[in-house]
Amino acid sequence: MGTLNAGLPRIYGAFPSLHLSRLAELQYLSVESELLDDPCLPAVEVARTYRELHSTHRLLGNTAAVLHLLRQDPIPVRRVLDVGCGHGALLHDIRRLLGAEVIGFDLRPPPAAAPVPILIGDAVTDPLPRADVAVAVCLAHHLSEGNLMQLIRNVSRSCRRFVVLDLVRHRLPLALFRTFVYPLVSNVTAKDGVTSIRRSYTPTELRRIVDAALDGSGGVVRHTVAPCYIRQVVDISWPVRT
């Protein structure tokens, strides 16, 4: 079996006085499609949605969380792969702030004005470009359990580390999103945000999937949940091949 950190994911910032544990997680994982997944969505709407998503990730601290983890890597990070990169905004930030070479991988063809190189393909099954670290931000909830396991194993063939940041299926982030973000963004971003939370995995579900994917691989995982359940991060490292 792989080397796994024992126990449940560590939850930061869940203050006992708020009784967060009593706020029941949304019981059932939604299988509803997101509007952004529609190949017929106009290019102008797609571009606006990706801009709003990037702004939302910055506002929620998701971008800062990824940058922090990359800076903490004990081995110099020279090349970063973003799986499900959209239009490449996160990679643009990584290259600008960390000076690393970057490359994206996405199902949707990139726009001509994409700020970084982006390859087209299915990250679950297609060979991935080599990199020191791969990241995937809010991609996991788009995948079935089986496909997510395949993605993790596929990334392990080309990268020594995989940082997976995603949402948490819980009533608290859903309520916060509806109150503070929903009124400020476009219809597509607003509706997809709600759908995304409903489609996401609980920490227990995600950890079970990751443990199964890593079984026998020698991979080590650190799984954390942010305050108010606004995100969860699975940070996977594999032994460096010589």
Largest CA distance in the chain: 51
In a domain? residue 189: yes
Question: Domains in the chain: how many in total?
Answer: 1
In a domain? residue 33: yes
In a domain? residue 227: yes
Phi and psi torsions of 240, nearest 5°: -70, 125
3-state secondary structure of 224: strand
**pLDDT, mean of residues 217-227:** 96
Amino acid (one-letter) located at 71:
R
- pLDDT per residue as tens digits for the range 20-66: 444 444 778 888 899 999 999 999 999 999 999 999 999 999 999 99
**Predicted local confidence at residue 6, as pLDDT:** 41
Sheet of strand 118-120: strand arrangement: 10-11, 220-225, 232-237, 161-166, 133-137, 79-83, 101-106, 118-120
192 pLDDT above the threshold of 70: yes
In a domain? residue 143: yes
Residue ranges making up the domain that contains 24: 10-237
**pLDDT, mean of residues 169-178:** 95
How many CB atoms sit inside 10 A of residue 125's CB? 10
In a domain? residue 242: no
109 pLDDT above the threshold of 60: yes
In a domain? residue 4: no
**Predicted local confidence at residue 28, as pLDDT:** 80
The CATH number of residue 44's host domain is: 3.40.50.150
In a domain? residue 186: yes
17 pLDDT above the threshold of 90: no
Residues 6+ apart with CB under 8 A from 64: 58
**pLDDT, mean of residues 136-152:** 98
Provide the percentage of residues in the chain whose pLDDT is more than 70.
89
Quick one: which of 176, 168, 162, 219 has its CA closest to 196? Answer: 168
**Predicted local confidence at residue 23, as pLDDT:** 45
What token pair was written down for 195?
């759908």
**Predicted local confidence at residue 14, as pLDDT:** 39
Provide the percentage of residues in the chain whose pLDDT is more than 90.
85
203 pLDDT above the threshold of 50: yes
16 pLDDT above the threshold of 70: no
In a domain? residue 1: no
